[in-house]
Amino acid sequence: MKKLILPFLLIAALSGCKPDEDNIPQGAYESGVFISNEGPFGTGTGTVSFYNRTTGEVSNNIFEVVNNRPLGNIVNSIEVHNNKAYIVVNNAAKVEVVNVADFVSTGVIENLGTPRFFLGVDEHKGYITDWASGIQVIDLHTNMVTTTIATGGQGAEQMELIGSEVFVANSGGYDKDSTVAVISTATNAVTATFIPGHNPKALAVDANGKLWILCNGILDWVNPANDTPGKLVRVNPATKTVELSLTFGSPSDHPIGLVTNEAKTKLYYTLNGGVYEVGINATSLPSSALINRSFYNIGIDPETDYLLGTDAKDFVQNGYVFRYSLSGSLVDSFQVGVIPGNFYFN
């Protein structure tokens, strides 16, 4: 990973001139933080913002500035693989592919259902979770879907590559599934399925190579009596067995956003207006929050070990990102696009 960051200007966007990729220096986005902004629900377009760690500058709507066209609705996530950024645009049923250094478009993966997350498997192949079908297998040279892997009920979410296997959290799309599917990257076949708890969504691997799964629990908006509490679960990825299952205290406890620090010795999640920290050797859940603030989602920058939290405001105005040290102290904040959701730390 390169430490040098070249300065960049977005003069065209400010002066009223037609945006053009020639205004973006080569390597402008090689090192920093990408933020995917969902955009207004059902209308308008999502965007991608970029935070430069060295200068502290924020560039918003960088895809449209460089490529002269909007991304589409809704931008769910962004991932980098083989020097390309894969921008998952949910409602538009596509993934936009750009060179990560300058954000110039190189192609589009189309004809998807409801895509959620991209994972680069190797130099030739990628997986996209798709609420409509499971996993879409992508030829990265042609940007074409080669096959589809059914992983359970509709609603495949986050993925984690461990060795030659991919673990897929199945939420059921609307919080109705309870399974994690295991896929062999050699055969694209599901080789195992296990149940960690209701509505598994977020995955993380710790310093010991163990897989942690954050299950949101059942959230029934129509009949809250059907709610079940979330769980934080540790799994041995070699045996696919649950080693530890920590259940939250109330049926109304639905945690989100599982991440680790750079050393992978501590886990962080959000719950009921707070961010909580738990060590990987803990046998119980923490009773008090590290940060008393509500976030739409969180991430941890491995370059700084700062925790970043997104504030979606009223889901109409531009949102904010807040940076905290892992001691819980606020560092700074900056404005991004509408409904900031996910991060990629480049």
Give 285-297 as a DSSP string: --SS-SB----SE
Q: For residue 335, is it within any domain?
A: no
pLDDT of residue 173: 66
Q: Which residues contact 265 (CB under 8 A, 6 or more apart)?
A: 206, 207, 279, 280
Q: For residue 76, is it within any domain?
A: no
CA separation (Å) from 134 to 16, 171, 192, 241?
43, 11, 15, 22
Which residues in the chain show pLDDT less than 50? 1-22
Q: For residue 39, is it within any domain?
A: no
CA separation (Å) from 319 to 27, 55, 73, 314?
26, 21, 16, 8
Q: How many angstroms separate the CA atoms of 176 and 170, rounded?
A: 9
pLDDT of residue 31: 83
Question: Residues 11-36: pLDDT tens digits?
Answer: 333 333 333 444 555 578 878 999 99
pLDDT of residue 253: 96
Question: Residues 195-216: pLDDT tens digits?
Answer: 999 999 999 999 999 999 999 9
- Residue from 103, 105, 111, 104 nearest 128 by CA: 111
How many structural domains does the chain have? 1
Q: For residue 304, is it within any domain?
A: no
| Residues 91 and 73 sit within 8 Å (Cβ to Cβ) | yes
pLDDT of residue 35: 98
Q: How many angstroms separate the CA atoms of 174 and 213, rounded?
A: 18
| Residues 129 and 116 sit within 8 Å (Cβ to Cβ) | yes
CA separation (Å) from 210 to 118, 233, 237, 239?
22, 10, 6, 11
Q: For residue 162, is it within any domain?
A: yes
pLDDT of residue 19: 39
Q: For residue 13, is it within any domain?
A: no
pLDDT of residue 191: 97
| Residues 135 and 151 sit within 8 Å (Cβ to Cβ) | yes
Q: For residue 133, is it within any domain?
A: yes
pLDDT of residue 220: 86
Q: How many angstroms separate the CA atoms of 108 and 233, rounded?
A: 36
pLDDT of residue 174: 65
Matching residue, tokens 């430490």: 3
Q: Which two tokens stand for residue 275?
A: 């961010």
Q: For residue 191, is it within any domain?
A: yes
| Residues 151 and 181 sit within 8 Å (Cβ to Cβ) | yes
The DSSP 8-state label assigned to residue 218 in this structure reads -
Which CATH number does the domain housing residue 187 bear?
2.130.10.10
pLDDT of residue 336: 98
- Please give the model's pTM, rounded to 2 decimal places: 0.91
Instruction: Return the ∠ at Cα 187 (arms to 80 and 215), rounded to 5°.
Output: 60
Range of the domain at 178: 111-245
Q: Which two tokens stand for residue 250?
A: 């109330």
